[in-house]
Amino acid sequence: MTALTASVVVVSRGRPALLLRCLRSLSQMYYDAFEIVVVADAAGIDAVQGSDLSDRLKLVRFDDANISAARNLGLAQVSGDIVAFIDDDAVSEPTWLSYLMPAFEDPQVDAATGFVRGRNGISFQSRASTIDETMGVAPLELADASMVVFTGGPGRAIKTEGTNCAFRMSVLKQIGGFDPAFEYYLDESDLNIRLAHAGKRTAVVPNAQVHHATATSERRAFSRMPETLFQVGASVAVFLRKHAGSADHKPHVENAVATQRQQLLRHLVAGNCEPRDVARLLGTFVAGIASNYGRRVIDPPAIVSAKSAFKNFKAAPALAVQQTISGRYFQAKRLRAQAKAAAEAGAVISLYLFSRTALRHRVSYHPDGYWEQIGGMYGRSNRNERPPIRTTIAKRVGQEENRIAPFRHPD
């Protein structure tokens, strides 16, 4: 195992219950040498202090709605060699750092990113991609789940996902932290472009996985329908002014507006909004762009060394205990109680609850500290595969255990 130490930074605002769920998942990671820095508002800090995890964390109070500024406050508390980021509405697989950290054993690797699963806990929300200086995103095709190292350069960067990324602290001290002008959106993409200009290498690690539920916030509803696009537009303006050069930005702005319109029209078709909402929200987007074209572009803030010592979340290395629990959905109450008790005893639990149907499967991480997969014995898990026609619970559990084994229950 690598001797490198990791610091995980979690920024939270307005979601104390989800913050606790995120921290519970981090507490079950197999990696031994990591600390956790929580930057949260008053409600989040209060929730953490009332939990059994508070004494093992570094806590920073921050109430403003600026994720870049919050992350910089977290960086100021980081004492590890590598800093990793995860959102408060995400949860990590127990192998997350076990896959991310070895990438940095190569001294030429300065950033790493993994794959992100979406709301159903199975399909991918994001995988490997690049981003250019005009915000153009393109997929990176990988042959398999092996780690691949890429070198960015002027014009195109390897895109790290904000809820699943890690950076070498020594490099962040060279190029600066997150630009507070990006209060929300494109904050890590700005950092990616700066890394690319510096010729830094980024590892894409498919098996380093987190699940991102994209929860409600003051900016969006559960359906992902935005309340306002003002800060998204403001970030677009800052990004283009910083990275797209002095050429006419009008085509790039028009592309950004068209992209937002398409997303809003999909919400309209899905019944998440009314036609008037499309025009109103596009207006907030354009207003956000206009607001930041007169704003002075400044250098990213310097990162100062942490004054506090490394605070290892795990007092001592522990042998990972893994357990599978399964049964019919009508047994859910009893089996969930069993899963909760086993999780409280320190095990990493995968609970399978199947019905005699063809319902598609969903995976979630329960606030009580266990993974739960529900669906029909004859339903799909991976959406692009055929569901089994004839099977038993034992066989189906075995199939699903094989699917998750690389990132949940490794040998």
pLDDT confidence of residue 411:
67
Asked whether residue 225 is domain-assigned, the answer is no
Identify which of 346, 333, 241, 347 has the alpha carbon closest to the alpha carbon of residue 296: 241
Asked whether residue 305 is domain-assigned, the answer is no
Residues 35-54 have pLDDT tens digits of 999 999 999 999 999 999 99
**Is residue 215 within 8 Å of residue 89, measured between CB atoms?**
yes
Residues 224, 229, 235, CA angle at the centre, nearest 5°? 115
Asked whether residue 303 is domain-assigned, the answer is no
The answer on pLDDT for 397 being more than 90 is yes
pLDDT confidence of residue 155:
81
**Is residue 398 within 8 Å of residue 350, measured between CB atoms?**
no
The answer on pLDDT for 261 being more than 70 is yes
Mean of the pLDDT values across residues 170-174?
A: 94
Mean of the pLDDT values across residues 200-214?
A: 94
Under DSSP, is residue 5 helix (H, G, I), strand (E, B) or coil?
Answer: coil
Asked whether residue 282 is domain-assigned, the answer is yes
Identify which of 400, 404, 403, 338 has the alpha carbon closest to the alpha carbon of residue 366: 338
Tokens matching residue 272: 């998440």
Tokens matching residue 32: 């031994």
**Cβ atoms within 10 Å of 172's Cβ, excluding its own:** 23
Q: Please check whether residues 396 and 363 belong to one and the same domain.
A: yes
Asked whether residue 67 is domain-assigned, the answer is yes
Tokens matching residue 64: 């403003």
Asked whether residue 217 is domain-assigned, the answer is no
The answer on pLDDT for 295 being more than 90 is no
d(C-alpha 111, C-alpha 107), whole Å: 11
pLDDT confidence of residue 42:
98
Q: Please check whether residues 285 and 350 belong to one and the same domain.
A: no
d(C-alpha 365, C-alpha 68), whole Å: 27
Identify which of 78, 76, 99, 56 has the alpha carbon closest to the alpha carbon of residue 6: 78
Of the listed ranges 1-15, 340-354, 363-377, the least confidently predicted one is 1-15
Tokens matching residue 230: 């003002």
Helices (H) and strands (E) in the chain, counts: 11, 17
Q: Which helix (H) or strand (E) holds 41?
A: none
Q: How far is CA 46 from CA 49, 50, 73, in A?
A: 5, 6, 18
**Is residue 382 within 8 Å of residue 404, measured between CB atoms?**
no
pLDDT confidence of residue 319:
66
pLDDT confidence of residue 179:
94
Q: Residue 373 belongs to what domain range?
A: 322-404
The answer on pLDDT for 315 being more than 70 is no
Tokens matching residue 391: 């099977």
pLDDT confidence of residue 390:
84
pLDDT confidence of residue 321:
86
pLDDT confidence of residue 317:
64
Q: Please check whether residues 281 and 395 belong to one and the same domain.
A: no
CA atoms within 13 A on the CB side of 246: 0
Q: Please check whether residues 151 and 194 belong to one and the same domain.
A: yes
Q: Please check whether residues 333 and 398 belong to one and the same domain.
A: yes
The answer on pLDDT for 18 being more than 70 is yes
Q: Please check whether residues 124 and 174 belong to one and the same domain.
A: yes
DSSP character string of 330-346? GGHHHHHHHHHHHHHTT
d(C-alpha 81, C-alpha 169), whole Å: 6
Residue 146: phi, psi to the nearest 5? Answer: -75, 150
What is the maximum alpha-carbon separation in the chain? Answer: 64
Domain final position from 276, 291, 306: 291
d(C-alpha 297, C-alpha 278), whole Å: 30
What is the rounded average pLDDT for all residues in the chain? 93
Mean of the pLDDT values across residues 83-112?
A: 97
18: left (phi over 0), alpha (psi -120 to 50) or beta: alpha
CA atoms within 13 A on the CB side of 397: 16
Asked whether residue 100 is domain-assigned, the answer is yes
Of the listed ranges 101-105, 321-325, 388-392, the least confidently predicted one is 388-392
Beta-bridge partners for 209: 115
Q: Please check whether residues 245 and 374 belong to one and the same domain.
A: no
Q: Please check whether residues 171 and 71 belong to one and the same domain.
A: yes
Mean of the pLDDT values across residues 259-267?
A: 95
Q: How many residues does the chain have?
A: 411
Q: How confident is the model at residue 1 (pLDDT cuts 50, 70, 90)?
A: very low
Asked whether residue 190 is domain-assigned, the answer is yes
Residue 306: phi, psi to the nearest 5? Answer: -65, 140
Residues 218-232 have pLDDT tens digits of 777 777 899 999 999
Q: Which helix (H) or strand (E) holds 86?
A: strand 82-87
Residues 190-204 have pLDDT tens digits of 999 999 999 999 999
Residue whose tokens read 């519970």: 24
